[in-house]
């Protein structure tokens, strides 16, 4: 079956207000394929500009992070209800930088993914192995564990609302590109775990992106692989022309 292609731009802690506005003014005037979902993940400070510029564009946007509680004494945190008021429809969960730097556990990733679904968001669930784990032959074990942990207690109906992103940690922001076969292998492992949990028919309906030094000049190669349905893009999503070119190359 044909799965929906998805291209996410994760800006991380980049682009202030003027840079965000400049990007959006250029991006909305660029011809971008409508045969896919395009999602921008700016810092919190840029979300109101996303709401202003993207409202009628067909381009989605979401948050890189959120807190599980609705409100309360959680200094520095932002709730899903607040994000919904800003027009967000997507969220990232499980990104390796949240897991490693901020010590988010598998249990917290599962809780946040569940909460996002309950609030009507589309979570993009990120998973990936370290270089040491890969060298030790533990990639399959790590990906299987992360997928199962993130989906604990979820029904078939729930899982069909998710998108996944396989991001080998050793290829994120390093300039080291996973080969097309490496990327396909990781994404296929994710799909195989989904098939073991929910059946092949369900697994075949779920979009799984690849992320890790994805660029306009290599996205076509990744997209040629049988199980890769899109890209979660970092640095190459910071310039409007680069990201639009990447998206258009990815749907060729």
* Catalytic center residues: 95, 167
| 203, 248 contact by CB (below 8 A) | no
Nearest alpha carbon to residue 202 among 189, 213, 215, 193: 193
Identify the three-state secondary structure at position 29: coil
For residue 92, which phi and psi values (nearest 5 degrees)? -90, 140
CB distance 207 to 223 below 8 Å: no
Q: Which segments within 25-154 are labelled E, that is strand?
A: 37-41, 60-63, 90-93, 122-127
Measured CA to CA, the distance from residue 244 to residue 29 in angstroms comes to: 10
Phi, psi of 154 (to 5 degrees): -85, 145
Residues near 118 by beta carbon (within 8 Å), at least 6 away in sequence: none
- The answer to whether the CB of 84 falls within 8 A of the CB of 56 is no
């Amino acid at each position: 079956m044909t799965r929906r292609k998805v291209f996410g731009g994760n800006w991380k802690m980049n682009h202030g207000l003027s840079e965000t506005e400049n990007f959006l003014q250029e991006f909305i005037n660029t011809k971008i394929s409508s045969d896919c979902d395009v999602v921008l993940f700016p810092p919190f400070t840029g979300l109101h500009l996303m709401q202003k510029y993207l409202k009628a564009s067909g381009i989605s946007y979401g948050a890189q992070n959120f807190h599980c509680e609705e409100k309360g004494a959680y200094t520095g945190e932002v709730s899903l209800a607040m994000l919904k008021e800003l027009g967000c429809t997507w969220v990232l969960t499980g990104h390796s930088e949240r897991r490693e730097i901020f010590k988010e556990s598998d249990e917290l990733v599962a809780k946040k993914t569940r909460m996002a679904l309950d609030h009507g968001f589309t979570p993009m669930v990120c998973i990936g192995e370290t270089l040491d784990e890969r060298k030790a032959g533990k990639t399959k074990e790590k990906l299987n564990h992360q997928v199962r942990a993130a989906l604990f207690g979820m029904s078939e109906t729930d899982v069909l609302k998710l998108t996944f992103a396989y991001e080998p940690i050793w290829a994120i922001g390093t300039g080291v590109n996973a080969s097309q076969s490496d990327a396909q292998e990781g994404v296929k492992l994710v799909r195989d775990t989904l098939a073991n949990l929910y059946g092949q028919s369900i697994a075949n309906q779920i979009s799984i992106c690849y992320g890790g030094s994805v660029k306009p000049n290599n996205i076509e190669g990744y997209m040629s692989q049988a199980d890769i349905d899109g890209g979660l893009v970092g640095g190459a999503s910071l310039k409007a022309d680069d990201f639009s070119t990447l998206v258009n190359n990815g749907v060729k």
